[in-house]
Structure 1
Amino acid sequence: MIGIMRRRLSTEQRRAQLLTIGAELFARRPYEDVWIDEVADIAEVSRGLLYHYFPSKRAFFLAIVEAEGAKLLQASAPDPTLPPLDQLKAGLEIYIGYAERHPDGFRVAHQAAATDDDLHRIQRSRITALRDRILAGLSAVTTVDEQTRIAVTGWLAFVPVAILEWLDDPAITRDELCDLCARTLWAAAGLRPA
């Protein structure tokens, strides 16, 4: 019998591979329907090796949520050559597109954060980074004060709820959803779209 030659990955590559496999599985199925053995089988590693990187299924899931959030934050970085409203819409397009491609994972990450302290901590960190990014963009077109900061923070809670509603009942187009979210922030910040 001829054995299959496995490629040896560095620690960072192996961890990234496991996170990618886990993200794909958790995006398609609920948490309780994803098995560590399945992840190990797909990665062609032992269950013990997976537990070497992540001490529990929960730790694995939290690492995936954190990694996916970081990817989304990086992918939605604003293009400084665009006007602020266009920067916002471009970021929203990426965020909505992610939710559209991974509806189950998007639901799990946002709904579980309401009742899970660790997920809430990860989400708060991402929200703070997004809020600061948006406030920096808004400072080019308006005075940013405490009211603006609170309005942006509230808007960041509105957007995932609007996306979840749209995923459940897409009564408007994706472009209309993006425009609605952008106009809502502009209104909350006391601005009028140009």
Structure 2
Amino acid sequence: MRQESAAALPTPRGTERSAARRAELIAIGRKLFADTSYDALSMDDIARQAHVAKGLIYYYFQSKRGYYLAIIQDSVAGLVSFAASGLELPAVDRLYRTIDGYLRYAEHHHAAYRAIVSGGVGFDAEVHAIRDGVREAVVATIAEGAYGGAEMSPLARTGLLVWVCGVEGATLDWISRPELSRDALCELLVKSLGGTLRAIGELDPAFPAPPPARRDT
């Protein structure tokens, strides 16, 4: 049986005070890892910069890796819930909202985004699982808007997954070299999605491409 990770353990003691303290440590860690790589920060560094005893971090997260995974999981939870929301919006507005929100997340969480997309520290199965969850959430969101539901043929799912992987590569390049505005990159990604949807429709007529995405400005 797969052993449960430290980051996924129940909140110590289950008290509101413990939950608040844990959330505070995650918020501190998110700032620490925003501009510093995992390997560059020791537990002593983290404790000193967070102004807490090192033992407190071990108490809540058991290890530096457990702390790091908890930070990533907490950050990504917001992105996934954002991608899955907005069902009341017109499909085109929801598409732009989802892609813009995705880019905003990457823009403001460089280290966490790179860790998720690149697989984290070495080959980390848990970080890969987090990344796959984000991909599936985005694919499901696009399918809802394009086809009216998350059910897809293998070809349609693969086509959308190819597009999402391209978005990851473009976003990684963009946060390293932000030569385009976020709005310009969002528009480019929307247009490229139109091409992907048309290709899916040609190869699998059961999933025809919706009308081109346009919104009033």
TM-score calculated relative to the size of structure 1: 0.83
Mapped partners of 2:104, 2:20: distance in 1: 26
**Contact in 1 for aligned 2:69/2:127 (Cα 8 Å):** yes
Mapped partners of 1:62, 1:119: distance in 2: 7
Instruction: Please report how far the alpha carbon of residue 68 of structure 1 lies from its aligned counterpart in structure 2 after TM superposition.
Output: 0.8
Q: Which has the higher contact order (CA 8 A, sep 6+)?
A: 1
Mapped partners of 2:42, 2:115: distance in 1: 16
Name 1:179's counterpart in structure 2. 187
Q: Deviations over 1:97-154 (max 9, x none)?
A: 122223233223322348332211111122223322322222239x943322111112
Structure 2: any 5+ residue segments left out of the alignment?
A: 1-15, 199-208
Mapped partners of 1:184, 1:145: distance in 2: 20
Name 1:157's counterpart in structure 2. 165
**Contact in 1 for aligned 2:116/2:128 (Cα 8 Å):** no
Name 2:67's counterpart in structure 1. 60
Of residues 7, 26, 29, the one that matches 1:22 is 29
Report the number of matched residues: 186
Name 1:147's counterpart in structure 2. 155
**RMSD (Å) for aligned C-alpha atoms:** 2.5
Mapped partners of 1:44, 1:104: distance in 2: 21
Instruction: Please report how far the alpha carbon of residue 184 of structure 1 lies from its aligned counterpart in structure 2 after TM superposition.
Output: 1.7
User: Which letter does structure 2 place at the counterpart of 1:54?
Assistant: F
Q: Tell me the SS of whatever aligns to 1:15.
A: helix
Name 2:5's counterpart in structure 1. none
- Are residues 1:84 and 2:91 paired? yes
- Provide closer, same or farther for how the CA distance between residues 44 and 165 of structure 1 changes in structure 2, counting only shifts above 3 A: closer
**Contact in 2 for aligned 1:138/1:144 (Cα 8 Å):** no
Instruction: Please report how far the alpha carbon of residue 24 of structure 1 lies from its aligned counterpart in structure 2 after TM superposition.
Output: 1.0
Of residues 23, 32, 39, the one that matches 2:39 is 32
Name 1:101's counterpart in structure 2. 108
Of residues 10, 19, 31, the one that matches 2:17 is 10
182-191 vs 32-41, which deviates more? 32-41
129-138 vs 33-42, which deviates more? 33-42
14-23 vs 118-127, which deviates more? 118-127
Q: Deviations over 1:9-40 (max 9, x none)?
A: 71111111111111111111111222323433
Q: Tell me the SS of whatever aligns to 1:27.
A: coil
Name 2:7's counterpart in structure 1. none
User: Which letter does structure 2 place at the counterpart of 1:193?
Assistant: A
Structure 1: any 5+ residue segments left out of the alignment?
A: 1-8
